[in-house]
Structure 1
Amino acid sequence: MNTNNNNRALTGFWIESSLLISPKEQAEVMERIFGENSEYSEETQNELKQVMLVTDQERTDISVYGKTGMGKTDGIIVDAWFTGFAETAEGKLYFCVRLGRTDSMNVSSPLAKEIAIQIVSDYSKL
């Protein structure tokens, strides 16, 4: 549950429930919001981008926007993700990095974010 807000109806309904959304579906949601055929106004998109902008990245020729999240079962983090998009000279690149818990490694949203930023950076060098 999101400890920033104790209202389970607002914070836990999709984290510890039967509602499942795949990484592909998360990336598709980003494209529906920020893509060329978005039904959202430019003003709304820009407001969302302001709160989603990742400022702790090395490259200045790429803007990365995203949202972290995590899922818990019985109080244990079982998966974490970072989903969003990057604006590059070639256009927008939508992504979602999801990490599942294993016995040998704990997962976290900051780790998923770090991996996503590295992948976007490496991809943009191609």
Structure 2
Amino acid sequence: MNPFEQWNKDHNLYTAMSNSVNWYFQDIDRELGKKQLQTYFNKVNYGNKDLSGQLDSYWMESSLKISPIEQVELLHALEENKFDFHEKNIQAIEKALFIAQQNETQLFGKTGTGTVNGKDINGWFVGFVKNASDTYYFAINIQDENGHSNGSKATEIAKQILKDKQIY
């Protein structure tokens, strides 16, 4: 049994991304193996590229770390396909990150919550906004040792900033 009801069904990349279905990505990691994963993390220069933690949790408040600036740089490089991935894979990622559209402006993003000892201590929302003429990249990371930081709160902050700046 999974900790969240929405995890208790079959998923694809799109539903797994929108519901942060950890087991889906853990299955992919196990299938690829640490050596292949390390190759990809090195290729995209993802944060500290440290996969020394457990294969099923290195990215959950463990060895792998990335800064907000590195997140933005990665999103920009991915969107520009600086890694020479197949275009259909870039489009699949963008489709999985799509959240909403207002008129001709689209919001893309992914939340993340870091939990330690049952407390949500780390909240992320990273993404970008596209309109007819520009793309705006962002990364919000909030931290609180008392357990009051999560991806939903980071999303609220990001959306307010994007609204205040008249971006979205």
Q: Flag whether TM exceeds 0.5 (same fold).
A: yes
Residue of structure 2 equivalent to 1:113: 155
Which residues in structure 2 correspond to 1:33-44 (within 5 Å)?
Answer: 33-35=78-80, 37=82, 39-44=84-89
Q: CA deviation at 1:107?
A: 1.8
* Structure 1: gaps spanning 5 or more residues: none
Return the match for 2:109 from 59, 62, 66: 66
Q: Which whole-Å deviations, capped at 9, do the CAs of 1:7-63 have from their partners, x for residues lacking one?
A: 5623x21222133211111111111111264523332222112111112x6x32321
Contact 1:33-1:39 at 8 Å conserved across structures: no
Task: Give distance in 2, aligned partners of 1:42 and 1:83.
Answer: 21
Greater helix share, structure number: 2
Q: TM-score, normalised by structure 2?
A: 0.60
Counterpart of 2:131 (choices 88, 101, 122) is 88
Whole-angstrom distance in 2 between the partners of 1:87 and 1:71: 28
Structure scoring higher RCO (CA < 8 A, sep ≥ 6) equals 1
Q: Counterpart of 1:29 in 2: which secondary structure?
A: helix
What TM-score, normalized by structure 1, do the two folds share?
A: 0.77
Larger Rg: 2
Instruction: Work out whether residues 53 and 65 of structure 1, in 8 Å CA contact, stay in contact via their aligned partners in 2.
Output: yes
| 1:9 aligned counterpart, secondary structure | coil
The CA RMSD over aligned residues, in Å, is 2.6
1:1-126 correspondence to structure 2 within 5 Å: 3=3, 4=21, 5=23, 9-10=55-56, 12-35=57-80, 37=82, 39-55=84-100, 59-101=102-144, 103=146, 106-124=148-166
Residue identity over aligned pairs, in percent, reads 28
Q: Report Cα offsets for 1:57-86 as digits up to 9, x if no partner.
A: 6x3232111111111222321111011111
- Structure 2 vs 1, CA of residues 9 and 37 (structure 1 numbering), >3 Å: closer, same or farther? closer
Q: Which runs of 5+ in 2 are unaligned?
A: 4-20, 27-53
Cα distance 1:78–1:48, how it changes in 2: closer, same or farther (>3 A)?
same
Residue identity opposite 2:55 in structure 1: A
Number of aligned pairs? 120
